[in-house]
Amino acid sequence: MSQWSLIYEDFEPAKEKRREALCTLGNGYFATRGAAPEVDANDVHYPGTYLAGGYNRLVSRIAGRDVENEDLVNMPNWLPLTFRRVGDAWFDLQQVEVLAYRQELDLKQGVLLRNLRFKDAQGHVTRLASRCLVHMQQPHLAALETTLTAENWSGRIEIRTALDGRIINDGVARYRGLGNRHLEWLETRLLDAETLLLRVRTSQSHIEVVQAAATRLWANDQPLAGERQTREEPGYIGQLIALDIAEETPLVIEKIVSLHSSKDRATSECGLEAVESIARAGRFRDLLQSHVLAWGHLWGRFDMGLGMRELEPGLTTVLVLRLHIFHLLQTVSLHTMDLDAGVPARGLHGEAYRGHVFWDELFIFPFLSLRLPEITRALLMYRYRRLDEARAAARKAGYDGAMYPWQSGSDGREETQRLHLNPKSGRWISDKSNLQRHVNAAIAYNVWQYFQVTQDMEFLSFYGAVMILEVARFWASMATYNEELERYEILGVMGPDEYHDAYPDSERPGLDNNAYTNVMAVWVLCRALEVLDLLPRERRQELSETLALRQEELERWDDVSRRMRVVFHHDGIISQFEHYERLQEFDWDGYRKKYGDIQRLDRVLDAEDDTPNRYQVSKQADVLMLFYLFSSEELGDIFRRLDYPFEYDTIPKNIDYYLKRTSHGSTLSRVTHSWVLARSDREGSWRLFAEALMSDVEDIQDGTTPEGIHLGAMASTVDMMQRAYTGIEVRGGVLWLNPRLPRTIENLCLHVHYRDKSLTMTISGDLLTVEVAGVTPELIKIGFKNDIHELRHGQTKEFTL
């Protein structure tokens, strides 16, 4: 089996939407699901094209209330291309006898290929071969090439090509019944005999999107004209092309498409840009060549060498890791750097989570920062530009500083639904997940980690520092002082475990003293004080004056960071939140026997008129997120600062306790747990890693992948290889390495970018080799075990494991 191709050799209608998500093609500017060009949206298929940052708001009436939602809009479908023998029905794979079928996503070249051989009801046998791409070098272009070969017949055929803007957002069943018609038709036009143009606009955000499509025919590399008829209606423009086809003479149909929007930079008018770019595009083969070159450059930066000890049946670890890298780079690429766009948790691959930006950046940025940190910087600017909205949200809630939303979209306001539908019970229930204030800590953490990897002082001085300081100010204002305990507390929040949003039978939302939230708040306050010391004196003075930072405020930050409350229960277990130990133990065996899959235990219990709030259950890592983000040395420093014990066995005891109480209802869960087990239980870590690796390709959450891939889980599985199993940690200006490969991995080679240096690391057997390349003479510090080594450009160092 190829290590570079995701291949399907049969047509399974029940799995088609999942495959369409997994075969999405994109370039960071826009992406198109891997639907066949002859299909419309129905029970089997769901074509979708999504523009980075292409949001629109609609108001829906739900349970007697007006509810506003902002969605990533399904833009006009540029794919439509089909054919028929004159007088017959249009080609439908489900209405013919399929003699051969192969669909291949070529990850190395970024091309989706399809090869079919089929027989119709009259016995006519036809071969169809197609290649599709969304151009990685020229972000506004896409192209489709379809080759038809009549094996045992000749005759007249019709080809139908179109741009279809009669599109609604209908890719998530539980959102149906809500407002979903986001596009308004503005214009359809025939530019020349071969080229169609469609212009639409989103109804509320008024983003204009223009597509132009040129469809050309070739036989024996000679152009064919055909007889063309144009059909127009509101939101749709298409052509019927009639011509004769000869037996065993391949007919090549090229459809070249340009997509521009009013959000584009350096644009006079997006319609003019679309027309000009389609005129300059050239033939499919020319676009393919430059597209493959661009992907080659990306793979040179992002691929990793991985040797396995045993042959793997089915999809291999290397192939699926490359699939995950592929989808990450299709969502955020070099083209994203010029956009005001965040990282949608489900990529540009579907409509789940409405295309919103969550805390998944926490799991995505580390891989990017050690490969192409310029992308991370651009994505952090998405948060910086929404700082004023976060400040306004904090003031409205009665706090200082900046309070970023749990779900973010176009302008940074809170996009979390107030109601959501439980598909198991059919009931609309309130959603309190906006109380996950820990997203603020994640943003500050991302800024700091980017700086640690890059030493980008310009970014820290003018953008990153103000975000960290304003988030620190928020935590200090949210913390309340308990005079009886002489500790600060944070009340009424949710942690990463979304199963718990309130105490049992309490009408007050939120939980008190969530350990993860409190410790992260302490960490942010410490980093804010450190940032002020790092800044050049002049810039520190400017920021202090601009933000009105007073000495007494900084003293409060220091005090809160030393006296924050962390709750423990028996035997040194860190309580997920105050009174967690009072909750009932859960009958895991009984529920697994009754329901089988209980990953989404919240839905199971709600259907029984019960709630996870009553039980010691977790959807995903909460306390254990601390061991995911921080080394034992860093956590030890924090707990000593707080004057709490942090014994040697604190980490394994807590891992064992909470792992037994976790249902893995989030795709991020298995990766996090695999990470925290990587040192102590390599076999257990690998088992969870393998499950996480397959979460989308096997759709282990039973129907979520068709709605969009889980980008955080994909990126973090790759990061497991990059950082967890290599022990990469950036701390105190030192790049620490502590490899510990699972038994199944024989060797690992990867290239990382660290502080203007390129490092090649190879781990094989009991040897770690580090080779340094770069353009600057400065030394970098490499830590291994208890020693620090200084390396410069051109040096190689070997370490015995």
Helix, strand or coil, per DSSP, at residue 421 = strand
Cα 185 to Cα 55, 73, 76, 102, 599: the distances in Å are 17, 14, 10, 37, 42
Cα 273 to Cα 136, 263, 270, 276, 650: the distances in Å are 18, 12, 5, 5, 60
Query: What is the spatial order of strands in the sheet that 65-74 belongs to?
Result: 25-26, 30-32, 49-62, 65-74
Q: Is the dihedral of CA 303, 305, 306, 311 positive or negative?
A: positive
- SS3 per-residue string spanning 75-122: CCECCCEEEEECCCCCCCHHHCEEEEEEEEEECCCCEEEEEEEEECCC
| C-alpha to C-alpha distance for 290 and 278, rounded to whole angstroms | 16
CB 726 within 8 A of CB 750: yes
| C-alpha to C-alpha distance for 431 and 346, rounded to whole angstroms | 19
Place of tokens 């502080």: 755
Beta strand 251-261 pairing with 141-150: antiparallel
| C-alpha to C-alpha distance for 342 and 331, rounded to whole angstroms | 10
111-118 long-range CB contacts below 8 Å, 24 or more apart? 111/25, 111/288, 111/291, 111/292, 112/23, 112/25, 112/34, 114/36, 117/151, 118/93
First to last CA, the chain: 33
Helix, strand or coil, per DSSP, at residue 203 = coil
CB 102 within 8 A of CB 257: no
CB 375 within 8 A of CB 332: yes
| C-alpha to C-alpha distance for 785 and 21, rounded to whole angstroms | 43
Q: Which two tokens stand for residue 710?
A: 């889980």
Burial of 189 (0-12, 13-18, 19+ CB in 10 A): middle
- What lies within 8 Å, CB to CB, of 703 at 6+ separation is none
From the candidates 498, 691, 707, 729, which is the catalytic residue?
Answer: 498
- What lies within 8 Å, CB to CB, of 710 at 6+ separation is 345, 346, 667, 668, 695, 696, 704
* Cα angle: 762, vertex 768, 774; to 5 degrees: 60
| C-alpha to C-alpha distance for 74 and 667, rounded to whole angstroms | 24
Q: Look at the chain and count its residues.
A: 801
CB 709 within 8 A of CB 660: no
Q: Which residues pair with 8 in a beta bridge?
A: 103
Q: Which two tokens stand for residue 76?
A: 């006009």
Active site residue 498: yes
- What lies within 8 Å, CB to CB, of 720 at 6+ separation is 671, 674, 675, 678, 689
| C-alpha to C-alpha distance for 695 and 363, rounded to whole angstroms | 16
Cα 250 to Cα 96, 282, 718: the distances in Å are 20, 21, 42
Alpha helices in 413-535 (DSSP H): 438-454, 457-459, 465-478, 515-534
Q: Is the dihedral of CA 158, 21, 356, 524 positive or negative?
A: negative
| C-alpha to C-alpha distance for 500 and 517, rounded to whole angstroms | 14
Backbone angles phi, psi at 748, to 5 degrees: -145, 135
What is the DSSP-derived secondary structure letter of residue 609?
Answer: T
Q: How does DSSP assign 151-188, residue by residue?
A: SS--EEEEEEEEEE------S-GGGBTB----EEEEEE
The set of catalytic residues is 498
